[in-house]
Amino acid sequence: MLADELRKKYLEFFRQKKHAIMSSASLLPENDPTVLFTTAGMHPLVPYLLGQPHPQGKRLANCQ
């Protein structure tokens, strides 16, 4: 199985479970001057982990 096939199957699993599929995040974080680059896939979600509602809902998935 190729990496692209695995990625598609992974995202399709979550799509079937009613998750919204998010785009991959940039390595250069937006609106955060405290870091020079994204060190983890969770970094762009910090505001939402701290309580701000995410525009796509609570069930999210992506593949970095």
pLDDT at 42: 78
Distance, CA of 27 to CA of 54 (rounded, Å): 20
pLDDT score for 26: 78
The domain locations on the chain are 3-61
pLDDT means per 10 residues, the chain with 64 residues, are 93 97 82 74 84 94 86
pLDDT confidence of residue 56: 94
pLDDT of residue 19: 97
pLDDT at 38: 67
